[in-house]
Structure 1
Amino acid sequence: MKMREDYTCPLELVHDMIKGKWKPIILWRLRLGKTSLSKLEQDIQGITQKMLLQHLKELMEYGFVEKQTYSGYPLHVEYYLSDPMGKEIIEALRIMQHIGITYLEKNGKAEELLKKHIIPD
């Protein structure tokens, strides 16, 4: 992961930090609290373990995610949002989630949101 040297504005930098299909989804899932790699993989439908590990590594390098390793056997690792950056990015993702819900509702997709338990019945 190589970052560019020049940016038009800080928003462009943050976009580069969280861009892609999976990073916002990983961050959104981590808002629920600490979790293991296997639980993240179960909860995020369609992501491979390789991709999940790659994105977690990048999100940790940027300071959005931290991990805690517990001693013993078997090895147990949990990932969680960092404070403050990880928790702050959730505010932006919450707004994006709301915009997505509103768009889908206006375009006749409310049924899908109900099926996926994104909005309550």
Structure 2
Amino acid sequence: MMNKEYNIGVEVTMDVIGGKWKPIILCNLRHQVMRTSELLRAIPKISQKMLTQQLRELEEDQIIVRKVYNQVPPKVEYSLSEYGESLGTILDLLCTWGETHADHLEKEGVFVKLNCED
């Protein structure tokens, strides 16, 4: 096992869920189990390769669970692990802040298109 050194707690958090795609993947898995194809539809700008890489890293960090069904064609589903569900409050706050910031930008005259189901 490798040693890791951090200077502040947020560094540890960002090491696990940081980057462009991981928070978006986690928010999509927050309330539902999803297959790879469903995640690709929900996150249209991510490539299959990047999605696969990010899912593997999240699985290695025990944030998500990958369930493989023994059938043809193969079926794989992803969900938050029990440990991953502990990120729920953080994910909710990130989403809420983003919606508030989108409103702020619109008040500043910036057109913001937010495609969410709220």
Give TM-score scaled by structure 1 length.
Answer: 0.85
**What residue is the counterpart of 2:72 in the other structure?**
73
1:1-121 alignment, distance < 5 Å? 5-83=4-82, 85-108=83-106, 112-113=113-114, 116-119=115-118
How many residue pairs get matched? 114
SS in 2 for 1:7: coil
Report the Cα distance in structure 2 between the residues aligned to 1:23 and 1:112, rounded to whole angstroms: 21
Contact between 1:68 and 1:79, CA under 8 Å: does it hold in 2? Answer: yes
**By how many angstroms is 1:48 displaced?**
0.6
Structure 1 residue runs without a partner (length 5+): none
* Partners of 1:63 and 1:82 within 8 A in 2: yes
Query: How far 1:102 moved relative to its partner?
Result: 1.0
SS at match of 1:79: strand
Offset of residue 32 of structure 1: 2.5
| Counterparts of 1:47 and 1:60, CA distance in 2 | 18
In the superposition, relative to structure 1, how do residues 72 and 59 fare at CA in structure 2: closer, same or farther (>3 Å)? same
Percent of pairs with identical residues: 35
The one-letter amino acid of 1:9's match is: I
Quick one: distance in 2 between partners of 1:81 and 1:8?
27
Aligned residue for 1:112, secondary structure, equals coil
| Amino acid of the structure 1 residue aligned with 2:94 | M
**Quick check: 2:105–2:112 contact (8 Å CA) kept in 1?**
no
Q: SS in structure 1 opposite 2:10? A: helix
The Cα of 1:101 is off from its aligned counterpart by 1.1
In the TM superposition, what is the alpha-carbon distance from 1:64 to its structure 2 partner? 0.6
RMSD: 1.8
Structure 1 runs of 4+ with >3 Å offset = none
TM (normalized to structure 2)? 0.87
Structure 1 position 112, deviation (Å): 2.4
Deviations 1:41-97 (A, max 9, x none): 1111111110000000000011110011111111111000000x2111121011011
